[in-house]
Amino acid sequence: MRAGFCGQKTGLEESGSKPPRSTSPATAPANPRATHWPSWVIIRWAFSKETSTIPSATLKAIPLGGLGEFGMNMMAFEYGDHLIVVDCGVLFPDTELPGVDVVIPDITYLRENHSRLRAILLTHGHEDHIGALPYLLDEVDAPVYGTPFTLALARSRLEEHGMADDVELREMQPQAPFDVGPFRVEFIHLTHSIIDSGALAITTPAGTVIHTGDFKLDPTPTDQRISDLHTLADYGRRGVLALFSDSTNVERPGITPSERAVRERLSEVLSESKGRVLISCFSTSLHRMQIVANLAKEHGRRLCFIGRSMFKNSEIAQQMGRLHLDEGLIVAPQDVRRLPAREVALVVAGSQGEPMSAMARIAVDQHRWVGVAPGDDVVLSARIIPGNEKAIFRMMDHFYRRGAKVHYDDGSHPLVHVSGHASAEELRLMLALVRPKYFIPIHGEYRQLSRHAELARELAGVPEEVFLLESGDVLELSAEGARRAGRVPVGRVCIDVGTLDEVGDVILSERRRISADGIVIPILAIQKFSGELLQPPEIVSRGFVPLEQAEDLVERARQVIREALEKSNLEEISDWGVVKDKIRAALRKFFDRELGKRPMVLPVILEV
């Protein structure tokens, strides 16, 4: 593997041979203590914690990512000679990481301890929890446990890397505990913005820990599968050693609105719009997609899914019976223009303004099948992920220029988007139900972790102690106590999508300036308002080929850049993110065809 780090470098080295893959079937006996209660809200008794004699043993909890940042969620638990990992996510880079597609956690510690790794457990199917699976499983072998939809998404990611047949995927279900070495694991269903999401109760001889994953406590989910608070309370009654809980929305007071809260506003838009309605949400938001599908039928509109991820995930969900679409409702993208605008609703990928996403291409009138016109309505039914503000607002400007009306999460009521994460009161309820001896906030930037720790300390006697950890810290837990016990190597590894290879971030770090095929930097001077190329592009390279000895190659590369610009309209040229992506893709293809090399291409645009 080619090593290249953005952030802390930890000495990533080649691992030895892989251990044989596990082939033993998962065991999932029925839950003998399943209990039925009249309502999720009727949990108002005084908890009496039953304590039992716990053997003198130590459990280690080691966050390898996801603490102090949004993304790269990965937590390791160790007991004796056994190791399990909860979640395996990516982080999507911002403008400070040019040329980088995704960022994954440094897996040095797991590589060095691969012989002790027993399983990877997934709490749900969002990319910041499963996206790094192909990169981890290229280095180590372990069965992957998840709920049906989560495994379907994981399988799709593995197929993209040609690894699906080499990885053992094991299904887990609520109220069906199973054993992984000394770990007794139970999946506990909790609501979130994606289906089949939940917490993990992990019981060891040292005690039980609960990892919430991402969650909110939606009392009226669209699939009618409410959070299993009774099982959480049952664990709390019997005694929980530690709780690791999502901190994303700790700064929001009160309770996060139900997913159904968006229905009113979306219904208004679909009813009142005189043209097409384009609704963009995360491609894993099946709750939102189902609401839109139901409303489209109600208001006499045909439904179309636009974007590769949106189409693929909706197809997976339909095959699993988790997305219900009436016969005749769906229309193919190529047939959209044949229908009257008033009879069409589209669900489009690209809510974060990604330069080459379907939504961004529609905004600059460069999509093959779909465009917008005056009278159309555009709904951004997703939160703005920090760091994506400029790209999203730039995309919105393009829609406004085309005469469309844009609806987004501007604080108005009724809502076009609700969060999938628990707000402060729900976080307090989680602590009150579980009543852990120790509490560790996870998933969020440091201020969120700190605020969550403060919230926990405000509760009388629950927990006894709070640990504010960062990625890499080792926490030792036992019946006798808990303590910090040093650190393990952690960091960020920058990845070029399409390979399993890491690529160095040249601008942030001079440690490794050249990846296997080198780096090419085209420098363009473009007139701001006309989009005119003021002079031939300059091309600089390192570790690629000596350009001074390849004048013909350089001139043809310049022509490739000119052609990429000529095929772009004025709105695209005014959007440097789109221009850079088009130049990057065109030059990579050109160099691959001419030399069999795929250098990292980092376009630089000088606005004159």
Determine whether 246 is an active site residue.
yes
Contact 58/206 with Cβ under 8 angstroms?
A: yes
Q: What is the pLDDT of residues 429-452, one digit of tens each?
A: 999 999 999 999 999 999 999 999
Q: How far is CA 556 from CA 472, 536, 550, 559, 582, in A?
A: 48, 12, 10, 5, 16
Of the candidates 444, 287, 459, which has an alpha carbon nearest to the alpha carbon of residue 381?
A: 287
Contact 107/502 with Cβ under 8 angstroms?
A: no
Residue type for position 69: E
* Cis ω for the linkage preceding 205 (within 30 of 0): no
| Active-site hit among 126, 421, 443, 452 | 421
pLDDT attached to residue 299? 97
Is 0.85 surpassed by the pTM of this model? no
Question: Counting Cβ atoms within 10 Å, is residue 384 exposed (0-12), middle (13-18) or buried (19+)?
Answer: middle
Taking residue 363's Cβ as centre, other Cβ atoms within 10 Å add up to: 31
Structure tokens at 139: 């280095």
Residue type for position 1: M
- What is the three-state SS of 120-146? EECCCCCHHHHCCHHHHHCCCCCCEEE
Q: What is the pLDDT of residues 478-525, one digit of tens each?
A: 988 999 999 999 998 887 664 445 544 433 443 343 445 788 889 988
pLDDT attached to residue 22? 38
Q: Residue 547: phi, psi to the nearest 5? A: -65, -25
Distance of CA 392 to the CA centre of its chain: 18
Structure tokens at 297: 């039928």
Q: Residues of the chain whose pLDDT is less than 70?
A: 1-56, 94-99, 496-516, 528-531, 608
pLDDT attached to residue 95? 60
Strands 144-146 and 117-121: parallel
* Cis ω for the linkage preceding 463 (within 30 of 0): yes
| Active-site hit among 87, 196, 214, 246 | 246
pLDDT attached to residue 368? 93
In the chain, what are the domains?
59-254+420-493 (3.60.15.10), 259-407 (3.40.50.10710), 515-607 (3.10.20.580)
